[in-house]
Amino acid sequence: MSLFYEPIPTALVAALRAGGPDANGQPPERGAIASGSGEPCRHCLQNTPAGQEYLILAHRPFPAPQPYAETGPIFLCAGECEAWGGQGMPPILTTSPDYLLKGYSHGHRIVYGSGRIVPKEGVERYAATLLADPRIAYVDVRSARNNCFQLRIRAARPVLRG
Ligand SMILES: [Zn+2]
C-alpha cells in the first residue's frame, strides 16, 4: 500500500501566516525563534530551521466542530516553506521514539480499538494495517507524549481541495 503523508493545506497555512484566525479564533502567536531541534512544522513536515521564527497556534484537523474533532497546539514556520510532497517518511516522524496513531471513520470519528502508540520504525506498517480496514478513512499521527497533531496519513493521494 502506498501511503500519503498529508501536510496542512498550503492555503490555510498562508492565511495563518497573514494573521488569520486559528481554530480558537485567535491570530497565531508570533516571535518564537526555533532551536532547530524541537519545533516541527506541519506544512514542510520538518523542524523549523534554527534561528527562524515559528508560529504557535491551535489547529483542528477536521472539517467541522463535533465531539471527536480534537483541537490542539501546533507549530508552523513563520516564513515561506514548501509543503511536504506526500511520498516517503517525512522528517517530522523521525524526531520522537514513538507516536500515537488513531484511525478515523469517513464521518471523522475515532474507530475504537485503532489507537496505539507505536515506535517510529513501526509507523508505516501500522498505518498501512489500519488503512486496509474499510471502516478507516485516514490515520492521524500525534505526539505520544503531548498529544499534538503531527500529520494525517491516507492510502492514496487525495483530491486537492481549494
Ligand atoms: Zn515549514
- 72 CA distance to ligand 1 middle (Å): 18
Domain tally, the chain: 2
Q: Are residues 44 and 99 in the same domain?
A: no
Tens digits of pLDDT across the chain (162 residues) = 899 999 999 999 999 999 999 999 999 999 999 999 999 999 999 999 999 999 999 999 999 999 999 999 999 999 999 999 988 899 999 999 999 999 999 999 999 999 999 999 999 999 999 999 999 999 999 999 999 999 999 997 555 655
**Is 162 inside a domain boundary?**
no
Q: Are residues 108 and 132 in the same domain?
A: yes
Helix (H) or strand (E) holding 37: none
Contact yes or no for 13/44 (Cβ under 8 A)? no
pLDDT at 140: 98
Q: Are residues 73 and 8 in the same domain?
A: yes
- 56 CA distance to ligand 1 middle (Å): 12
- 132 CA distance to ligand 1 middle (Å): 30
**Is 161 inside a domain boundary?**
no
Give the residue from 77, 108, 128 where a domain finishes. Answer: 77
**Is 127 inside a domain boundary?**
yes
Structural domain including 114 reads: 91-154
For 117-152, letters b (16+ CB in 10 Å) and e give ebeeeebbebbebbbeeeebbbbbbbbbeeeebbbb
Q: Are residues 12 and 71 in the same domain?
A: yes
* Residue 18 φ then ψ, to 5°: -85, 5
Q: Are residues 42 and 66 in the same domain?
A: yes
**Is 46 inside a domain boundary?**
yes
Q: Are residues 63 and 8 in the same domain?
A: yes
- 110 CA distance to ligand 1 middle (Å): 28
**Is 159 inside a domain boundary?**
no
Long-range contact pairs involving 84-90 (C-beta distance under 8 Å, separation at least 24): 84/5, 84/7, 84/43, 84/44, 84/45, 84/46, 84/151, 86/4, 86/5, 86/6, 86/7, 86/157, 87/2, 87/4, 87/5, 88/5, 89/5, 89/123, 89/124, 90/5, 90/45, 90/46, 90/151
Give the residue from 77, 99, 115 where a domain finishes. Answer: 77
